[in-house]
A and B are shown apart, each in its own frame.
Chain A
């Protein structure tokens, strides 16, 4: 290696202050994902000492090589930063400056777009991270999904560097590393620090909105002549309307009526003259109802990340985690506050509604935009946000993957070399057979030591060595295909039942049954006076329950598996 003639060069606020440096020297330290720091001490100039003005001033530290005669051979930047804390020592008349590369501040000042540009490939989901996070937190969150770090280069630029060892920027042999006991210290992390399997139970809750449309109605059971011979009470339009509108949980879309026969002579053997003086009476109606409801789906995907080579080498080291997200859907807005409340009375069409015409245009309560009819003939729409879902699930997967990768690179190779300005936390170094050690890894920590008192100028290096048992191939960390939910419909799906005729005063002892649908009335006059059982004059509409398969909260389990293969960096130790 020979003899190296060197100087530290410090430029403070644009002025070379190297001549004012004390022999305390300058040490710069950088650590992957952390702020670079350096300290130096200047002799105070005669006069006033303005410590306040020093705060925040730009500082650069360089390493200069010279000939024995003092000719400058090279000047290379080691670190660029700013004064963080100046202190004055009145005894020594010196000003010590604690400086940093302001890595954290610089990131905090970046726009989120700039951070995105610095961290391509990162995942970020507002269902995992805080949406209102500041830029520094935002960058930190993105970095949780990337196997790499944001660090300042010697010139202060912030760059992203992948953890994975690159092709070595510098290779050191025994002639380039200081001797020691040993010259290269290799320390492997405990097996307990390894994570090679992660099981994520990720639950996505969303709603499916349904709309079922059902037609039904009531038709008077007697013919005209039968009615004229054995008349009964009949329902009015208003009764029918109230009954149709009163169907609990259903919305009445439209309704039409069959009025009582008109005034005239009817051939009933003999002919019968009939005068219809009650236009409000009906002998039939038909209606269309709409049922709206929602079903809550819990889509539970069990995601397993495995580092197969690592598992076979170190045994399974597993962590289980859970996560959940949901897509909001306004159920009340869809169904009404207590479920399918009639929003408003239907308007009359072709009459006043009391004595003629029909109700509703038939276009009331249309299916939601985007809804499609399923095998049940229900209009169905999943209220999912698959873009957000994919971002959420990929963020979780990426975080777990990064944790796998991080846990495999806790192994270290530590050594010191004659000060080398080319070493930075962005660089990959190789040690070629030094003290029996050969290894390749990315720098995770380093310190340039320039001791002006002793003349020592060295660089302490710490390499991260990723070890996984063997090399492998990772899967792309893409969201899986979501499970679908399409239950088989029953032979007959639930509907509305409005038909039926039940008349009292028919000479039987039959009593009313509240479960009857349709019309309940009486023969007038009674067909017989004994027994004389009188029914209420009412119309009733009933509906089936919505089937549990499309109604009840449903869990949709699914699985997905990914291979995460941490790098297997070069490492050999010869005894």
Chain B
């Protein structure tokens, strides 16, 4: 599985600017957990389902992020696959995912604890169908998230001793 290119809006981060990129996801929500006097967990949910991502990278050239700003919305085309596991080979994917070329969903199956390919045979709407694998106890469909976000942090550096250009982006889904 080759890695697709990272896009911040229409801005593509060149390969040589992100040779050792990392991307992490964490959910964003207003969920408050409290214990009641009998020990029961009470969960109050004001909102949920938003995402926060941190992308770091470094390369031989700068990433070209200078035109980005923290006030505008950008469509983030992510490079770290997220995944959905299911005992079924038919898996509903989130709508907030990349559909551009090179960022297609990817399927695997777990057979006897081992990963084996289970190619996606088709995606209709958000429903992906993976190739049925004999003996599979679990299917996973990998996809690349894509969502509209606002940039929270946007630091860039240049390290003379390594001649490298580290940078990072923290973005939160709008």
Contact = CB atoms under 8 A, between A and B. Distances in A.
B31 interface: yes
B73 to A, nearest CB: 16
A461 to B, nearest CB: 13
A454 interface: yes
A180 B39 CA distance: 11
A183 B37 CA distance: 6
B26 to A, nearest CB: 16
A174 B35 CA distance: 10
A434 interface: yes
B31 A455 contact: yes
Contact of A178 (B37, B43, B45): B37
Given A1-B42, A418-B42, A174 B37 contact: yes
B36 A455 contact: no
Interface in B53-68: none
B42 A2 contact: yes
B38 A174 contact: yes
- Classify the interface of chain B: helix, strand, loop or mixed: strand
Given A23-B30, A455-B29, A455-B32, A418 B37 contact: no
Interface string B9-39: 0000000000000000000011110111111
Interface stretch (A3-11, A40-48, A212-220, A512-520): A3-11
A23 B46 CA distance: 10
A452 interface: yes
Contacts of B37: 174-175, 177-180, 183, 434-435
A264 interface: no
Contacts of A456: 32, 34, 44
Contacts of B46: 6-7, 450-452, 454-455, 457
A453 B39 contact: no
Nearest to A457: B44
B45 A176 contact: no
A456 B44 CA distance: 6
Interface in A432-468: 434-435, 450-458
A1 B30 contact: no
A117 to B, nearest CB: 41
A179 B45 contact: no
Q: Which of under 10, 10 to 19, 20 to 34, or 35 or more describes the interface residues of A? A: 20 to 34
A327 B135 CA distance: 106
Contacts of A455: 29-32, 44-47
Given A4-B44, A455-B47, A174 B36 contact: yes
Q: Which of B30, B41, B45, B46 has the most CB of A within 10 A?
A: B46
Nearest to B30: A455
B40 A175 contact: yes
A21 to B, nearest CB: 11
Q: Which of B34, B36, B39 has the most CB of A within 10 A?
A: B36
A280 B47 CA distance: 118
Contacts of A180: 37
A454 B30 contact: yes
A526 B47 CA distance: 131
A565 to B, nearest CB: 33
Contacts of B41: 1
A24 to B, nearest CB: 12
Interface string B112-149: 00000000000000000000000000000000000000
B30 A453 contact: yes
Given A2-B42, A6-B44, A6-B46, A457 B35 contact: no
A456 B39 CA distance: 17
A414 B36 CA distance: 15
13 contacts: A1-B40, A1-B43, A2-B43, A179-B34, A419-B44, A450-B46, A451-B32, A452-B46, A452-B47, A455-B29, A455-B31, A455-B32, A457-B46
Interface of B: 29-32, 34-47
Given A179-B36, A180-B37, A456-B34, 9 more contacts: A3-B44, A4-B42, A178-B35, A178-B36, A418-B34, A435-B37, A451-B30, A454-B46, A455-B47
In the A-B complex, list the 8 residue pairs whose CB atoms are closest, starting with the nearest: A455-B30, A174-B38, A456-B32, A174-B37, A455-B32, A1-B42, A183-B37, A455-B46
